[in-house]
Structures are given as C-alpha cells and as structure tokens.
Structure 1
Amino acid sequence: MKKLRSTYHAVLISVLVISPLTGYKVNAANSVGVTNSTTSNLASPTANRTSSLDSIKLASNIKATLEEVNIWPQAGGNILTYTLNYSNGSNRNLNLIQYFSRVMTPTGTIIPGNPVTGDALKKKVLPKGTTRVTYYVNVGTTNSLIGLKIPMYVWDAKTKGYLKQVGTFNVPTQYTPTVASGKSLYTTMNDVPVTAFTESLKLYQYNGKTYAKAGISLTNRGTKVFEDPGYTVYLLSVGGTSFEMVLDSSQATYKIQPGEKKVIYYLTEIPPYLETTNMKLQYIQMDKTLKVELPKTSFSLPKATIPDLTVGKGIVKKILINNNTIETKLSNETVYAENNKGIWSFQLHLKNSGNKAVTMPSYALAIKSSEGKAFPIKAKSLNGISLNPLEEKVLQFTAELPLDVDQKPVHLELIEEIKADVLAADPTTESVGKSSKLTLPVAYFTIPYTHRPDTQQGSDYTTTNAYGTFSYKLHTLQRFPWKDDDIIVAKLSITNTQSTTLTLPNLKGALKIGEDDLTSSTDLFMDKQVATLASGKTIDMYVLTKIPYTSNIDKMQINLYSVANEENVSFLSLSSNNTVNDVDSIERGGSFMVAGKGKNAKVQEKKTIVYAGSNSNIVYTELLMSNEENRQSKMARLQAYYQTADGQFYEAISNQSDISAAPGGKQLIAFWTKIPKSVSTSNMMFYMGSGITGNKLSEPGQESTGVVNIGSLRLSPQSSYANMSEVTLSPYTLSIQSADGRIKEGSDSISIVMNYNLFKDSSYDTGIFNHKLILKMTDSYGQSQEKALVLGTDLTVGNQNRITMSFSSDQFKNLYGGYYRLTLYDEIQGERIELASQEYSLTYERLPEIEK
C-alpha cells in the first residue's frame, strides 16, 4: 500500500471542471445498494462523457472543444490542466503540431500549455475522427479558475510571430468542476469508460480518533477489465484541509469486469473537530515523467453519517469485503468464574453470501466492558482465512476479564487494521505525527451474560464449530488408583449429526480440576487413525490425567483442542461437577467388555479365593477373557486393584498370556494381592480396566501409562480349603485317589505311594504357569518334610497315575506305625497358601524272622 499523507493547505475554490451545459444530461445517481451488478447489454449512459465549455473553429471542418479545466496546488507552483477535444470533419489527416494553446492568468501572464506525458505522442487526428489531449501549465500562485482564459493559435507563416490567434476560451465565473452529490458521471479512467457516483461518507470514532470512509460507485462501461488506476485520492474539507486516503484493505488490488459495478471505499484519519459538511473526494494522477500531480475527477460527497455499529444478541451483521457480503453472528456465548477472572467463550459465525471467494482482512478483536476497558483477544484464526461463495465457518474464541470489571454487559469489538504509513503535517503548528495503521471499527457485538451450564453425564448435546455440527455426550467421570497417584478418566463420545462428513483435527485433551490447570499432563486416548466421521457415525475418546490421591474434586473442566499457527484452537469445551468414581458395575456372572481397535473382548470372573496365611491373606482372582474379534489377536492388558470394605486399595499383580488368541478363543488371567491379616476380606470390590500405552491399548508385557474403561466387580471369595480329591491350580485339577505310606522295621525312611488323576483344561490359554505345588508330609512326631511337585512333569497328566516319594529321619527307626498327614500348598511369588490336607495311616512292616 502506498504511503498515506495528510497535508493542510488552502483548498482551491474550484478543483475539477465537469460542468453541465445545455444539451447534455447529468442524471441523479442510481440508488442501488452495494451489491455487484453485471449486465450483458449495457444501456446508453445517462451522463455525458465530459462537460464541454465552448468550441472554437480552427479551420474549415476543424474545431477544438474545451472539456475540462482543473487546478491543483503543489510546492513548485500550482498546476492547471485542461483538455481539448479536436474534431476533424475533413477527409484528410489533421496535424496537431499546427495548433497551439496558451493560458492567460487574471494578471495577464501568458503561459504555453504542454501535453501531459500520456498524451505527448498524440500528433494527428484521423479524418472524421476526434482526439482528446490534456495539457498542463504551472500557473505559480494562481489558485482560482475565475478569470482564466485559454487562447487558441494556428500556425500561419503570414502572421507576425507565425501564430494566428483564432479564438479564446473563457472559463465561466459560475463554473464549478465538481460532480454534485447524487449525480453520476460518464468519464474515462486509464482509457476505460466508467460511470461514477458517490455512495456514502461515514465517520467512525475509535480510541479517541476519528476516521472517514468514503464510497464511490464505479461501473465498467468498457470492453476490458478495469483495474485500480493508481490515482491518489484526497478527502477535501470545506474549510481548506485535504487528507490523503487509502483503499480499503480488502480492495487493495481491485478489478472490475466489463459491465460490473463495484463500490470502492477509501479511508483516512481526520481531526475529531473537523467540519464534515460539503466534503469532496478528489482523484489525482501522478505524472512521473513530469514529476507533477495532475488533477482528475472530483465528487461532492453526501452528508456524513455515523453508523450504529452495535449488534444485538443473535443478530446477523453484514459486512462488505471487496463488494462481497459476509454475514457475521455470535453464538454460544457463555461465561464462568475461575481464578478471580471471568472466562468468556463464544463462537463467531462467518458466511460468504456473495458470489466470489473472499479472504478476510486483518482484524483486531477485544472484549470491552461497560466501563470502557478493552481486553484484546488473539485473532489469528480469523485473519486471512478464505471463504468460498456460500461457505460457512465457525471460529471459537475465549477471553479473560478480571472479576472486578463489570461484566454485564460486554461487547466484542471487531476492528479492521489497515496498514498505512500515515504522515500528518499541520502548517499552523509545524507538528508532524506518524502512525503505522488505521484501526477502523466494524462491529460491536453484544455478548449476553450467560453462565456456562454444567454438562450432565449421559445427556446428548449438540454444538457447531469450525469443523461442522455434531452431538457429544459425557459418559463417565472415573477415578482410579494408579501407583502413588490417582488417575482421572473422562469418557466422551462425538457423533456426526450432519449429512456430510465431519473432519476431525489432530485433537489434544486438557483437564482443569478446580483451580489446577493440568493441560501439560493430560492425555487424549482415541483412535487417531480416524480423521473423518461419516454421517451418523460415533467415536469414543478418553481424556485422562493423574493427580495426588489425596486431592479432592468438586469441579472439572474438559477441553478438546488442536494447535494451529502455534495457537490452541478449541474444538469442544465443557464443565461438570458430577460425582467422580462413576464406575460401571458388573453384575455377578456378568461380563466386562473391552473395546478397542483389534482388541474387542469379553471378560468374566472365574473364581476368587482368599488364601489365609499366618500374617497376611492373599486374595486371588481368575478371569476368563474371550476374543470377540473375527481374527487372531493379542488381547489388551488389564490393570486391576482390590478395594476393601473400608476403602483401602491394593494393587493387583497379574499373570496374563502374551500369545495371540484365536477368534472366540479364551485366555486365563490371574490377579492376586496380599492383604494384612487384620483387614477384612468381606465385601471386597475388584476394579479393572484396559491399560493404555501411548495412544493404543496395552498388550501383555507392555508397561501401561494409564487405564480406561474401568469396571467394578463385587467379590464373593471362596474358601481356599479343599479336599485331596479335587485340588484346582488352573488350568490343572489334581485328584489324590489314595496314599499308601509304609515303614520297615529298623528303617529310617517312610515310603509313600500316591495314586492320582491330573486333568489339564485346554479350552483356554494361560500365561506362564508360576504356581508351585508343595507337598508337605508331617509324621507322628509332628515333624514335617516337603517336596516340590511340578504339575505336568513330576505329576503327569492322565488318570490312574502313581508317584513314589521317600522321606527320611533317624527318628523313624523308632516308629512302629501310626499316622502321617499330607498337606498341599500353592506357592506364588514366594507366598504359600494351603490348598488341602488329609491324614493317612502308616503301615509298619516287620522284617521276617530268621530261623535259628
């Protein structure tokens, strides 16, 4: 954009000559609004191309008509321009070098006129043709058209001085060069015929400054595209002040197609005390070769108005951007208090209701209180975005206002920022000021005070943002023990309710709990490969973070956002004060469902046993997980905790198979924990969920970073004690059929032959079998000896099997029968629990007597 300047000087009484004469019509301007219009068959113009002041006969069938006279002040002397239209009615070429014009000032000074650079090469007029030539003269300090004369001369060798005066143009005293307000002009700009008339003059006040915005309508009457001619434009006041103007930023490189009409807007800053009646708009063309400014067309502007920029609740505000109408509206305005601030949230809707693509100019946004305090908002998401015809976009914004500021009501200020180097010079004070931009207010949207409601779990809500319209639901808010902390998990779902595809950005999650912003430690778990949602489709997502287990929760805010241009762009924001620990309860005999891509499974409790120890109890739970996928798949790793009736949590140690399960296949998962003897094991709860690693469900053997989809199961533990006929160590079941213990006379060893059946359940897979079966033999003296038996090796699978064991002690030499006890123990991770125990008779075998 070119440099903008404002120079104070005496305005000439007359600036531009466009005077209606008898026989020429200058009609009132068309009252059509600001929309573009194009017609294939243009009507004849109702305004003359230019005004003719008078004609002078130069020779037979040859005449010159004075059409335009203008004057413009400049530092090196005021420049007068005038245009002569040469008409050649003869049958041969007219050589213009034979004709001359001069300017006579009121003081009698005669100055030769010279063609401007653009017309310097016009030397001839074709037969029956016309040619317009504009001349310029430096008239020094002359600043009025009154009394000016333009004598015409013809080359004549017989006349003294070789120039014969053939007539003089006298500028009429009542002559005014400016097009009256409400009148249209048919003229040329850069050799393109256009119809022009002034549309409006509006004044805007912002931050103690006053801005003027003038609109002029241009209709291209030619056959080629009309582009910005590069003229300098001035706003002229009746009191003698001129201000250089700049194009509206959205029209910096405007083009007008043949037959098309556009309103072109020019802006400038003016003093707030300036008289704004009878203002004019003046076009000036810079002749770079001559280094002079040449006055062009000027227009009287309508009476200045001050537009009401306030936009009521729910009202659509239409703004013009490069002659395209953009509909703007605020919606979903809410506020809530946090950290002694009012947190405002709202959406700005934009719709291009025009017929051309539009790029939004640069804007500044601010929330302004009724006290006049303004709080800026980042506007990167608005500036420079493009809107195709009929395209709609929704932008989300937030703002923070201190609570000591009156927040009923507040307004959103939409301010256009127009880049311009503005120089202002006032000869009366010799002061110079400079600013780098013009800030023009566009709209003041009223933001109603609406407290943001809490989102209720299980309810459906519908919203619209920049990506489309969708419904969302807050399913659960769960709290789960995690190492030394607690993990908070919010489950959401989003459903595409529109008829077209909903595109999802690269979402991130953020949680605020009370006054604590946990954005940096919040994770979002969802299927990141889902970039779009078809109409009617739903996607689940989990927002989770970790907090100290001692923390209390009374309020939670959940945010989904993406990052664009290094800014967080809100996708969905909600708050809830619902109870946390909303964990789905699994009925006795019911199923817990694991949901995840390639990990869908069903989990059921097989059994829970409490093994009573001497100093502590072990709670042991077995689950069966069934693969619900249609292909072989590795199951998700489960994370679990036991909770006692008094609210204490104990982390569960797991044993889970890491091999893939066939479709419909089952796997046995074992969990256990050690609980102090003093803690009751009645009314215990078992909490479990799917572990996650990064953005995927964890697999067995992977370290989980969190857990989702938590369910709870009320346990009804069985007794650990069983008889020797049925001892279960999944997947094995051992049945001791009999035990025959014998000791021979004088021997120090007891021999026991144990008959057994061993069954292995192959209907499910297991992890590494880390149970140890310990057999303890207690003799009649109360002394015990142990043997470790490996199921499947020492004890083989099958029926009617036999194993022989021997136990030795010197004291056995004195045994003559009696009994012994066999006790079976399950040893896990060094912890031993009794499974079954039974007493058997010991047979004493005497040695045969030796006959003497």
Structure 2
Amino acid sequence: MKSPILKLAALAISISLSLSAVTPAFADGEGSAIIGKVSISEQSYFELKQIHLTTSQNSKLAVINISIHNGGSSALKVIDYWIRLKNKSGSQFSARSLPSDKDKTSVAPGSNVDMTYYANVNENTQLQDLVVEFMNWDLNRTKFERVLGEISVPDTYTDVTPSQEGSILQVGETEVKASIKKLVSNKNEKYHVPTVYLTLENVGSNAITIPSYLFSIRTPEGLLYPLEAKGLKDLAVKPKESKEIQLSGTIPAAVSSDHWELVITETATDLKINLPVAVFQLPAATLSQGGSIGKAYSFTSKSGVYTTELNALYRLPWEDQDLVSADITLSNKGPDSLSIPNLTGYFLLDDAVKIEANIVQTANVVGIASDSSLNLQMVGKIPYTSKYSRMKLVLQEKESDTVTTDVVEFTSQSELQAIPFHRLDQPYILDDAGRKTGFKIRGLNRYTSNTSSLVIAQVEATNLEKRYTAPTKLVAQFRAADGTVLPASVAEVNNKISPNGTALLNVSASLPKGFSTENMHLIIGESVTEGKLTESGGKPDSYVKPVAFMLPEVKADVKDSLKDVIVYPYQISMNHFGTMVENSTFTLKFNYEISREGYLETNVDGHKLVLVFEDGSGQKSFEKSFEMKDFDPVEGETPETVGTKLKIGKHENFKIQVTDADLIFKSSFLKQYKLSLYEEFQGQRKLLATQKADWFITTD
C-alpha cells in the first residue's frame, strides 16, 4: 500500500502543467501553438489554445479557447469539466461557455472537442493578469469539485499575431489559416484609405463557407474603425485552397498610421456581443503602385489654369448594376476667379473597356474664386459582375458638341475606397456650397405583419445655410452585416427648411420576416438624374457622395398606458376613457392631447395611428385608424372635422361609435377591456402602448 506522501506526489505529477509562453501563431508544417496544458488523466488533458481581451463598454471581455483531448478508452462527459477565470490577486470572474457549444456533450475516445468561454473582467485587467483554472466534479471533495490545475498567462504572451505569420481560425471542425498579404494605403486631405489583403487557406479536409466575420483596424489608442469586406459573403473554400479578400475602410487623416492592428470578430447572436477571433499586427503600408488618389494635377484651358485631384473612387450597388463614382476636387490656385469649365469624361477598364460617365456638380455656384475649390462627382455604370485589375479616369473639356479635349488622366489599381463610415454620435456634414446640411440618425423602428416586416430609419437633416433651402434629394440603401443590400425609399419633404431648421426624413425598406437588423448600416447618397442633382418629383438614375451610418438598436419599448406616447415628432396622450352601450351602439369616449416638437418638417404620408379595442374575453374587437398627416391644423377646418380626426392640441370627449350587436351581446362586461395603440405604415404595425380599463367606469 502506497503511503500518503507517495499519493500526494503522484497527484502532483498528474496535474503538472506544461506552460508555453509563445504567440498563438501558425508556422508551416506545425499545428496551432498553445499557451499550456493541464492533465485530466495519464492519457487525457486540457489545452489552453488562445485567450483574447477586448474592450466592451465600461469593462473588458475575455474570450478563452480551450480544447479537451481524450486519449482514453471511454468517452468523457463535457458537463463534468469546466473552467474558472481569476486574476493573480485572486479575484474571480464568472466564465460561461458559448450557447453554440451546448450540443458538445461528450468527447469520444481518441478525439478532441474545442470549447469557447467568455467573461467580463474589469477595465484595468491586462492579459498577463489572468489565470485559468481547470475544474471537474469530485464527490469525494467538500465542495464536490476539484482543481485539476491552472495556467497563468505568461508575461511574454500576446494575442496579436505578427504580420509575417499566420493564425488558425476554427470554422466548425475545420481549421483555416489566415495571414496578411499586404496593406495598401492612400491618404487624402480628410482620410487614410487603407486596404488590407487577407489570405484564407483551408488547411482541413472539408469544404467550408467562411462566416460573416466583422473586420476593424485598431489603433494603439484602442480606437476601432470598421472595414468593408469585399468578396466575403458566401465565400466557399475547398480543402487546401486559398482565397484572398480585400478589406477597405476610411480613417480620419489626423489618426497616426503607425502600429495598426487588424481585429477579426464574429457576432454571437444569442449574446449580442462580438467575440474576437484573431488579431494581426499590420505591416507598414505601401502606396498603390500607379495610383493617383490624393495627387494634384494641373491643366490649362481657355479660361485659365485649373488643378484637379482625385479624392476617392467608389464602386456602389445600384439595382441590377454597379455605379463607379469618382470624387474630384477642381481648384483655382491663381489670383483671379475662373469660370467652371464644361467637363465630361469616361472610365477605361484594363485599357480596353470604355465606360461613359456624367460629371455632376453638387455645389450651387457659378464660378471658382481665387484660392478656392469646387467638388465634382463623376459617375458611370457597369454590370455588377464586372471584374478588372486597372482603371483609368479620363477627364475631358467639352469645347463644342463635337469637340472634346482630354485634360487629365488618373489611374488606379482595382482597389476602391470603402464608403466613409459615421458612428451614431458622429454627424455627417454635406459641405456643398448653397446646400450645406448636417445629417444624423435619430432612431430605428421596425414594423411587422403576419408575413413580412418593414424597417424605418429616421434621419435628421439640418439646414446649415443662412437661407431657406429645399432638402437634398437622397438615395438610400440598408446594408446588412452579411453584405446584403436592401433598396430603401426616402419620404420627400417638399417644404423648404429654415436656417438651422431640421427636416425629419423617414427612410424605409421591406425586410423578410425575422431578418436581423443587428450591425446593419444605412447608406445614403445625393440623388442624380441625367447627370444633374434630382429635382422634386424626379426619378433618380444614380447617386453620388455615398456615406454610411451605424444604426442604433430597434426601438421596441411598449408603454403600459396611453399617456406620453412618442411617435416622433409627435407626443400623444389619451386618458379619461369611458364606455357606453345604448341600443345597438357602443361608444368609446376619451380625452386626448397631441403636441409636436418645434418646427420640424417631415412627411408622414401613409403613417397611421391605430387604436384597437378588445373585450376582456378576446372574442370581439374593433379598431379605428387616424391619418397622422391630419394631425396638423389645416385652414378652413370645421369643428365637425376635428370631431372625426385627431388634431394637435387638447381635446375632450372624443367619441368613437360602433354599431354592432355582436360586440354588445357577446362582450364580457365583467372583465376589463384592453386598448392598444399602434403606428402603421404600408400595412405593417409597431405596438406603442397598451392599457386595460373597467367597463362603464371613466379612467384617470
């Protein structure tokens, strides 16, 4: 029989740790490096594969990737094992496994199972402060649990993969090697315009579809700037096959371009959090070979000397085609004012395919003053399936109907700029002379029916001019997290907006029922018809100057009374409800008040306020719809009109009468009735408030 001392020695050996202070990178011919191991038995063990730490609001989020290896002859139950997370001073953090791992219940002999845990830690925590404990149930212990071992994150550990190395991404049961090919970045007056070339190699034995990862550039200060992934949606990669994707975005020019990192995350939809997948140190940026974005060129015409600069080049979705749009600055650096030259132009793809284009002037000016500039847009259309490796932009001056002269050429590789992105707290300023406008997102609402749904983004457009100005006509689209583009409609506001006044634009799009709005963006641009900005009532055939907005979460609050209900820009209160039955007529009587915020201009055509009455048994009901466009007073309205429509102001004893014998004789007067208030648009509804009340008693 072994002595207690020998037993303790054997136990100490069985839980000894193999710590490895290396970066979790992938080297050719090797597997993924690990941080350390903890033994379960002589044949089985845990691996701590990776641990990431990322900022999450007022705390940090730790994500721990482990693997359970079963070298024994019988299955291991996953439920018998778990981890704890603590720091080196002993403070513990609650670690939970991902809901997506719930079906991983056992580890078969000779196999392994990967698990991911997450935990919120305090904002001062660093990676090297963390300790991972590996646990299992033991009915012979006081607390029925046993610490198999622990792994402290080594001082030399980092979750950032060097730019010249690769990192393994786990896609289901298949490993994908991700690596940075290069970083190309241009810079103009306002933005860095980086493009990251990311290679994804399937090193497994099964074909996979790459998940809808989210990509961002992170600065040393922790600032994150989203990147748009080109070619990621539904990207299939066969075994031993490599695919390259381009990640593009914009970063303010004031931000240093040193020590950027690429952060890859994946949305855990059940948790509504973005989980870090990998982080790469980006290499030093190289300039586009042959590119001319941000470079100034001069040309001379009969009117004088002009300087041109290509600021950005975009490829934008448009119905069943794509738009190629160039943002150009035309400057006058001379001492005298210049007229605006009559410019036209075209795009040339791979020096072979000519794409006719229109020049669009967005500023309301007739000349270019000394030391000033004018913004122009050049836009053409191509099939959305078009591929090319080189683009040339040729700017021409039109001397007559038959004579044009090439004045300047810009060349670019296939890299295009991502649409400028604005956060919720970051308004977009449209700086066109005579049409200066500030745009920001007010809110996001969703309306549903039995078969479909509709989303409306409310966009505030503030007139920053010193004169009354008609709102800019916009084209809008919603872009989902997976890259799906949904065409949207913008309800036009026809009245001119006062200086510093605001128009509320309702931007709507139909969605399949259940379609996620998480991480959805709104894209807007200035509407163009036949080479000119679209006028009132005109039908757009393209758009220019695109910009993308982050969208807030859908407003889903339902009030428990019909008082102070917000249907922006209106506030509605209904009270003193009373019911009455006389002969075959049922009467619902109430007081109401509607107020409106300031002089905000908006278009609520088609929007309705719907009051729904249901008896206590749910057997009988009726509803009354009110057009919201009727809320505002109209000259010549009579008291009778006010008695049939809801109007701004305070009103008493408003009546809704229904003649329905079934409603009267089948209603349960002993139970409370229920009132519900909805906003309706295009047959879709959003519940705003509900309230119950007693029959034949006037409520407060």
TM-score by length of 1: 0.42
| Counterpart residue number, 2:471 | 635
Work out whether 1:725 is the aligned partner of 2:563.
Answer: yes
Q: How does 1:461-500 map to 2 (within 5 A)?
A: 461-465=296-300, 470-498=306-334
User: What is the alpha-carbon distance in structure 1 between the residues aligned to residue 533 and residue 391 of structure 2?
Assistant: 25
| Counterpart residue number, 1:373 | none
Change beyond 3 A, Cα 1:534–1:740: closer
* 1:645 positional shift: 1.1
* 1:509 positional shift: 1.5
Aligned pair count? 390
User: What is the alpha-carbon distance in structure 1 between the residues aligned to residue 465 and residue 612 of structure 2?
Assistant: 45
User: What is the alpha-carbon distance in structure 2 between the residues aligned to residue 799 and residue 497 of structure 1?
Assistant: 61
| Counterpart residue number, 1:547 | 382
Alpha-carbon contact 2:613-2:621 (below 8 Å) kept: yes
* 1:646 positional shift: 1.2
Q: How does 1:293-372 map to 2 (within 5 A)?
A: none
**For 1:562, what is the secondary structure of its paired residue?**
strand
| Counterpart residue number, 1:797 | 648
* 1:758 positional shift: 1.1
| Counterpart residue number, 2:625 | 788
Alpha-carbon contact 2:398-2:404 (below 8 Å) kept: yes
User: What is the alpha-carbon distance in structure 2 between the residues aligned to residue 501 and residue 598 of structure 1?
Assistant: 18
Work out whether 1:740 is the aligned partner of 2:578.
Answer: yes
* 1:823 positional shift: 1.8
Post-superposition CA distance 1:445-476 (Å, at most 9, x none): xxxxxxx962343x232445566655432212
| Counterpart residue number, 2:141 | none
User: What is the alpha-carbon distance in structure 2 between the residues aligned to residue 508 and residue 589 of structure 1?
Assistant: 38
User: What is the alpha-carbon distance in structure 1 between the residues aligned to residue 426 and residue 513 of structure 2?
Assistant: 30
Post-superposition CA distance 1:210-259 (Å, at most 9, x none): xxxxxxxxxxxxxxxxxxxxxxxxxxxxxxxxxxxxxxxxxxxxxxxxxx
**For 2:612, what is the secondary structure of its paired residue?**
strand
* 1:778 positional shift: 1.4
* 1:647 positional shift: 1.0
**For 2:664, what is the secondary structure of its paired residue?**
helix
User: What is the alpha-carbon distance in structure 2 between the residues aligned to residue 717 and residue 801 of structure 1?
Assistant: 36
Change beyond 3 A, Cα 1:554–1:739: farther
* 1:558 positional shift: 0.7
Alpha-carbon contact 1:668-1:766 (below 8 Å) kept: yes
Alpha-carbon contact 1:611-1:720 (below 8 Å) kept: no
Alpha-carbon contact 1:610-1:718 (below 8 Å) kept: yes
Q: Please tell me the residue identity of whatever aligns with 1:824.
A: L
Work out whether 1:812 is the aligned partner of 2:664.
Answer: yes
Q: Could you tell me the percent identity over the aligned residues? A: 22
* 1:711 positional shift: 0.8
Change beyond 3 A, Cα 1:536–1:735: same
Q: Which has the larger radius of gyration?
A: 1
User: What is the alpha-carbon distance in structure 2 between the residues aligned to residue 602 and residue 798 of structure 1?
Assistant: 31
Q: How does 1:115-130 map to 2 (within 5 A)?
A: none
User: What is the alpha-carbon distance in structure 2 between the residues aligned to residue 802 and residue 790 of structure 1?
Assistant: 19
Post-superposition CA distance 1:527-546 (Å, at most 9, x none): 79978645422121111012
* 1:713 positional shift: 0.4
| Counterpart residue number, 1:13 | none
Change beyond 3 A, Cα 1:511–1:643: same
* 1:821 positional shift: 1.6
User: What is the alpha-carbon distance in structure 2 between the residues aligned to residue 502 and residue 633 of structure 1?
Assistant: 26
Alpha-carbon contact 1:640-1:687 (below 8 Å) kept: yes
Work out whether 1:557 is the aligned partner of 2:392.
Answer: yes
| Counterpart residue number, 1:691 | 527
Work out whether 1:821 is the aligned partner of 2:674.
Answer: yes
User: What is the alpha-carbon distance in structure 2 between the residues aligned to residue 678 and residue 811 of structure 1?
Assistant: 35
| Counterpart residue number, 2:8 | none
Which one of 601, 617, 625 corresponds to residue 453 of structure 2? 617
After the TM superposition, which of the residue ranges 487-496 and 475-484 deviates more from structure 2?
475-484
Alpha-carbon contact 1:819-1:842 (below 8 Å) kept: yes
**For 2:694, what is the secondary structure of its paired residue?**
strand
* 1:685 positional shift: 0.4
User: What is the alpha-carbon distance in structure 2 between the residues aligned to residue 755 and residue 499 of structure 1?
Assistant: 68
Q: Give unpaired runs (5+ residues) of structure 1.
A: 1-451, 846-852
**For 2:695, what is the secondary structure of its paired residue?**
strand
Q: How does 1:133-172 map to 2 (within 5 A)?
A: none
Alpha-carbon contact 1:743-1:842 (below 8 Å) kept: no
Q: How does 1:186-225 map to 2 (within 5 A)?
A: none
| Counterpart residue number, 2:246 | none
Q: Please tell me the residue identity of whatever aligns with 1:507.
A: L
Alpha-carbon contact 2:307-2:332 (below 8 Å) kept: yes
User: What is the alpha-carbon distance in structure 2 between the residues aligned to residue 787 and residue 500 of structure 1?
Assistant: 66
Alpha-carbon contact 1:518-1:545 (below 8 Å) kept: no
Which one of 668, 693, 697 corresponds to residue 504 of structure 2? 668
* 1:786 positional shift: 1.5
Alpha-carbon contact 1:505-1:531 (below 8 Å) kept: no
TM-score by length of 2: 0.51
Change beyond 3 A, Cα 1:696–1:633: farther
Q: How does 1:393-472 map to 2 (within 5 A)?
A: 454-457=290-293, 459-465=294-300, 470-472=306-308
Change beyond 3 A, Cα 1:795–1:480: same
* 1:641 positional shift: 0.5
* 1:644 positional shift: 1.0
Q: Please tell me the residue identity of whatever aligns with 2:418.
A: D
Change beyond 3 A, Cα 1:777–1:569: same
Work out whether 1:524 is the aligned partner of 2:524.
Answer: no
Q: Please tell me the residue identity of whatever aligns with 1:812.
A: I
* 1:635 positional shift: 2.0
Q: Please tell me the residue identity of whatever aligns with 1:555.
A: R
* 1:738 positional shift: 4.0
User: What is the alpha-carbon distance in structure 2 between the residues aligned to residue 770 and residue 816 of structure 1?
Assistant: 35
User: What is the alpha-carbon distance in structure 1 between the residues aligned to residue 292 and residue 523 of structure 2?
Assistant: 24
Which one of 483, 503, 518 corresponds to residue 647 of structure 1? 483
| Counterpart residue number, 1:290 | none
Post-superposition CA distance 1:412-431 (Å, at most 9, x none): xxxxxxxxxxxxxxxxxxxx
Post-superposition CA distance 1:362-383 (Å, at most 9, x none): xxxxxxxxxxxxxxxxxxxxxx
Which one of 779, 783, 790 corresponds to residue 615 of structure 2? 779
* 1:504 positional shift: 5.6
* 1:732 positional shift: 2.0
Alpha-carbon contact 2:296-2:310 (below 8 Å) kept: no
User: What is the alpha-carbon distance in structure 2 between the residues aligned to residue 579 and residue 519 of structure 1?
Assistant: 18
Change beyond 3 A, Cα 1:838–1:454: farther
Q: Please tell me the residue identity of whatever aligns with 2:623.
A: E
After the TM superposition, which of the residue ranges 580-589 and 502-511 deviates more from structure 2?
502-511
Alpha-carbon contact 1:658-1:701 (below 8 Å) kept: no
Alpha-carbon contact 2:497-2:503 (below 8 Å) kept: yes
* 1:769 positional shift: 3.3
User: What is the alpha-carbon distance in structure 2 between the residues aligned to residue 505 and residue 528 of structure 1?
Assistant: 14
Which one of 386, 393, 413 corresponds to residue 577 of structure 1? 413
User: What is the alpha-carbon distance in structure 1 between the residues aligned to residue 362 and residue 513 of structure 2?
Assistant: 44
Change beyond 3 A, Cα 1:480–1:810: same
Q: Please tell me the residue identity of whatever aligns with 1:835.
A: L
User: What is the alpha-carbon distance in structure 1 between the residues aligned to residue 417 and residue 587 of structure 2?
Assistant: 58
Alpha-carbon contact 1:756-1:800 (below 8 Å) kept: yes
Change beyond 3 A, Cα 1:529–1:699: closer
* 1:615 positional shift: 2.2
Change beyond 3 A, Cα 1:699–1:626: farther
Post-superposition CA distance 1:784-810 (Å, at most 9, x none): 211122442422322363322234342
Change beyond 3 A, Cα 1:683–1:462: same
Q: Please tell me the residue identity of whatever aligns with 1:798.
A: G
